[in-house]
Structure 1
């Protein structure tokens, strides 16, 4: 009996690990979670990170900053400037509106009828951060919204590697 219990526990853990992917990753599809970046001009990029349901807003913002640092470094820049940033909640509602039901049943020694009404539906919220960044010679050494890409990656790498989810 002990062996069966361990098998069930191990199987559940493995299935749970398969069901959730890494938090910091490229978004495989348009509405999926992860990062995306688009080159807008020679020195400007749009960088976004969409969190999965349950990922904290601060984590989503940190992952977007981490990706911005990656983009800067990958293009030979030591620093970047954020020209605009926006974090928005994305709410999904499911389960439809109101519903009614009528039922009856019997079983010795009882029988009965019932009428039910449900307002139904529930919602979940996740967050998405969109940054427009600038890299290159026009970015000053210091200033408002100017980040050292390597320092930022060093400071956030532990949180990103841990896949901070909550």
Structure 2
């Protein structure tokens, strides 16, 4: 009985580790998943979030917005304006090239041989959102693409936490 519980606990731990995809976190390497922000001028930043394959486009866009709000709040701003926004798919390919295989096998009462050919290759698509934002006194209190940073963070914090942030 204890062995069954132990095996179930190990399986549960492995499954939970697999289920936790890329979280809201900084991107460490150049092609890593996560957020980046760059100061462009005294009041403009480029903010981006790159998701893992399997992460929904909407989630990637929400994480980028959340990061923009983070940048604004960390710089003492109550609001920010998005001057430009772009979400792009990034597709990578792996295991390309044709391959052949020959095999045989046996087992009572059957035996056989096989020849196979594969064109190989698989593609994975992930999304990246890039925002150029403006913070500071020049940002109007209301308007198109103007966000209250604190309110946006409050509204998206549950979604960010649920997706691993």
TM > 0.5 fold call: yes
- Normalising by structure 2, we get a TM-score of 0.88
- Structure 1 partner of 2:6: 7
- Structure 2 partner of 1:39: 39
When the two chains are superposed, the root-mean-square deviation of aligned CA atoms in Å is 2.1
TM-aligned CA deviation for residue 105 of structure 1: 5.3
Pair 162,112 (structure 1): closer, same or farther in 2 beyond 3 Å = closer
Structure with higher strand content:
2
TM-aligned CA deviation for residue 33 of structure 1: 1.0
TM-aligned CA deviation for residue 12 of structure 1: 2.2
Q: Provide Cα deviations, 1:109-141, integer angstroms capped at 9, x if missing partner.
A: 765443211111111111110101000111111
Aligned residues: 164
Q: Provide Cα deviations, 1:23-62, integer angstroms capped at 9, x if missing partner.
A: 2111122211111111111000010111112111001000
Pair 70,108 (structure 1): closer, same or farther in 2 beyond 3 Å = closer
Pair 139,118 (structure 1): closer, same or farther in 2 beyond 3 Å = same
Pair 18,106 (structure 1): closer, same or farther in 2 beyond 3 Å = closer
29-38 vs 113-122, greater mean Cα deviation: 113-122
1:99 aligns with 2:99: yes
SS of 1:90's partner is strand
